[in-house]
Structure 1
Amino acid sequence: MHSLFYHVSFRSCVRTATLATKPGPSVSPPLCPPRFPMCLGDTCTASLEPHGSPPPPHIAMCRFHFGHYVSVTCADACSWAGGRDPHPGKSRGSPQLEGEAGRLPPPPPPPPWLLEGGREGGRAGKGKRGRGRPGRVATPPSLVSSALPAAKYPAIKALMRPDPRLKWTVLGLVLAQLLACWLVRGLAWRWLLFWAYAFGGCVNHSLTLAIHDISHNAAFGTGRAARNRWLAVFANLPVGVPYAASFKKYHVDHHRYLGGDGLDVDVPTRLEGWLFCTPARKLLWLALQPLFYSLRPLCVHPKAVTRMEVLNALVQLAADAAIFALWGLKPVVYLLASTLLGLGLHPISGHFVAEHYMFLKGHETYSYYGPLNWITFNVGYHVEHHDFPSIPGCNLPLVRKIAPEYYDHLPQHHSWVKVLWDFVLEDSLGPYARVKRVCKLAEERL
């Protein structure tokens, strides 16, 4: 096991950097292609420091994990809300790397509504945490700089509207599962589990992704937050366990602090990365994804229970009790099995790995444009979603259509099943294959 560390001094933000295995001459290839670490700006200088050397006090360190063994520590002092060098003129490193990365043009500026913020990650927190002070990752950097030509801004902004069909789609999925509960009440257990995987798993996974869309206020808009919350609770009913309110609470951090150590609970823990490192263990880890996703927040970033979470739990328990009273135990088992199997080792679950696991070094987020988007509310358009989280899933394909030059050239997945296959069999992939940032907020909390 070894670690490679480099510190970056900023003029505007990171664009390229020189990587070396020890202090002295640099080696290639660089680990900072375009959009990595994905900040604004066009120039930077870099220098290598020996392992264990403390970073400059104004640098917020970020850890990038590649495979199981090599970790690279990169400085990310570009505040997305601040957008300027905290210590201009204090360059302390080598000149900008020459070559392919050095010849890249600077990214265009982000749209003004993203810099000025919305309700979903546009600003840093308030109060003593400040508003995006330099040296802090206040908002996750955009994956394509969230920048589109000025002539296209109105077209993108027009997509930031509620999806009027979302509530009816949710109603149809919930009724379909209730009908299935009635149908499976007399089935043999082996057939109940078969249909829980083949049908119920697809429906329940789709409902969890509907909850994801609703958590971005995609059903009724930001002005009707209460309606969105209760629609999410309604969509939660076939899942069998309370999920919607807790997901909303933590998903905000996923967008604000993508990969933030101690903040983004989507990032596996060190124990997961160490333990699930062989094909058989990774297969088990995939099968147990629902358990890890539900328990990890309690260990990584516990938060106080909210009133909405209590209401979500009470409504869910009442629904489960009503189904049990009406049709017996088998329908309840069917719903729970649909959730565990559908969010576990299931073709649709490939999106959990496809979205942010680093299949290519330097590329943190990937999109998938295949047919499974039809039943997953276009969650495969994940680069587009992180650039514009206020756009509902039904409109994400239009983002790519409006600005193909910003998305078509990016690495993308073509099959979620192949994603799972590669994740299990490739030695370079595993729970550690994630970008992990140490945000100042996490340091303050610890």
Structure 2
Amino acid sequence: MGKAGGRGDFEWMYNEQPHTWRRKEILAKYPQIKALMGPDPQLKWVVSGMVLTQILACYLVHDLSWKWVVFWAYAFGGCINHSLTLAIHDISHNVAFGNKQARWNRWFAMFANLPIGLPYSASFKKYHIDHHRYLGGDGLDVDIPTDLEGWFFCTPIRKVLWLFLQPFFYALRPLVVNPKPVTRLEMMNAGIQFAMDILLYYLWGLKPIVYLIAGSILCMGLHPISGHFIAEHYMFLKGHETYSYYGPLNLITFNVGYHMEHHDFPSIPGSKLPEVKRIAAEYYDSLPQHTSWIRVLWDFVFDDSIGPYARIKREYKLVKQE
């Protein structure tokens, strides 16, 4: 259990990310895929139902004992909150109201953020664009662990700890790797979120706040759903940096498992990504894919060749604007 992992550095690549050329090739062969781009009219109703469900749950837990508050936070509320973070991921690509209503998408993401307990949506949008544009970019893509994470979390026990602490690394890593000025939208996001937290505390006390925040942290850490964080871009096969998963957990995660398809076509809503795979099946069926997020977590912990260092990195030369 104390054996150190086998990797001592990231996998460095010196070519462009594969999603760029594959997108062009698929669109040239299947131009009908362009019709899938645009807003998902059902997304706003599904997300609104999830937010209202969590508000009702806040009322229901306020009289429970603490042990049951934590249990339901992990078993139920956290699952919804994790799903809401993936809805926010979709909304960050303007698929709730379309590109012409970008401001509506930003406000709606803040609404989806309310049950998560901590402000998240505006900061996520700011950095997620770089993840797509500069996939694996050194100092640009904050989805890549730091050297310190790769060096330290290299044994099974330490990797379990890293999985548990994943929400904190995702929150703090951007401040170290690629700090950006705080935006007006981020301040609005924080103001609206903390006003909601104060209202819940005033109505029903501390337990609903713990239920929401603990659920978010626990289910974005060591939890079967959080296997998608590892499954998406960790290098399980040499040279392959993005993987899809087509299993049943997509039903509660806005099809985030269709990650190869998502990076090829980020403007297509998650609900329509299975259609992309169906149309362009020959491009995806032969690529490596995951069949279980639980198996992904198991392999991450116990396979010495996989750990925080098992990521592909690139150097992007940015043209500075005068």
- TM-score where L is the length of structure 2: 0.95
Q: Which residue of 2 aligns with 1:69?
A: 8
Is the Cα contact below 8 Å between 1:323 and 1:331 reproduced in 2? yes
User: Radius of gyration: which is bigger?
Assistant: 1
Q: Which one has the bigger helix percentage?
A: 2
Matches within 5 A, 1:94-105: none
Counterpart of 1:166 in structure 2 is 43
- Can you list the C-alpha shifts for 1:394-440, whole angstroms capped at 9, x where unaligned? 00000000010000111100000000000000100100000011212
Q: Is the Cα–Cα contact under 8 Å of residues 55 and 115 in structure 2 kept in the other structure?
A: yes
In 1, Cα distance between the equivalents of 2:207 and 2:142?
33
Match status 1:313 vs 2:190: yes
CA distance in 1, matches of 2:212, 2:27: 47
Which of the residues 124, 133, 142 maps onto 1:247?
Answer: 124
What residue is the counterpart of 2:19 in the other structure?
Answer: 142
Partner of 2:233: 356
- Quote the residue 1:194 is aligned against: 71
Tell me how far apart the structure 1 counterparts of residues 275 and 206 of structure 2 sit (CA, whole Å): 44
**Contact 1:143 / 1:365 at 8 angstroms: preserved in 2?**
no
Q: SS at the partner of 1:148?
A: helix
Letter in 2 for 1:75: Y
Higher RCO, Cα 8 Å, sep 6+: 2
Specify whether residues 69 and 189 from structure 1 end up closer, same or farther in structure 2 by C-alpha distance, changes over 3 A only: same
| Large movers: runs of 4+ above 3 Å | 70-76
Q: Is the 8 A contact 2:59 2:208 kept in 1?
A: yes
Shift of 1:142: 1.1
Tell me if 1:405 matches 2:274: no
Give, in whole Å, the separation in 1 of the partners of 2:231 and 2:156: 17
CA distance in 2 between partners of 1:311 and 1:267 (Å) = 27
Length-normalised TM-score, structure 1 = 0.69
Task: Pick the aligned partner of 2:33 from 153, 156, 174.
Answer: 156
Cα root mean square deviation, aligned? 1.7
Deviations along 1:305-363, one digit per CA (max 9) or x if unpaired, are 00000000000000000000000000000000110011010100000000000000011
The 5 Å alignment of 1:17-32 reads: none
- How many residues get paired? 316
The DSSP-based 3-state class of the residue aligned with 2:19 is coil
Aligned to 1:277: 154
Please state if 1:292 is matched with 2:141: no
Aligned partners of 1:401 and 1:251: how far apart in 2?
Answer: 26
1:249-274, Cα deviation, whole Å (9 max, x unpaired): 00000000000010000000000001
CA separation in 2, counterparts of 1:406 and 1:75?
A: 23
Change beyond 3 A, Cα 1:142–1:390: same
User: C-alpha displacement at 1:70, in angstroms?
Assistant: 5.6
Distance in 2 separating the partners of 1:390 and 1:165: 16
AA paired with 1:268?
P
Q: Indicate conservation of the 8 Å contact 1:369/1:381, yes or no.
A: yes
Query: Which of the numbers 217, 229, 232 marks the counterpart of 2:94?
Result: 217
The CA distance in 1 between the partners of 2:250 and 2:116, in whole Å, is 20
Quote the sequence identity (%): 67
Residue pair 1:232, 1:244 contacting (<8 A) in 2 also: yes
The structure where strand makes up a greater share of residues is 1
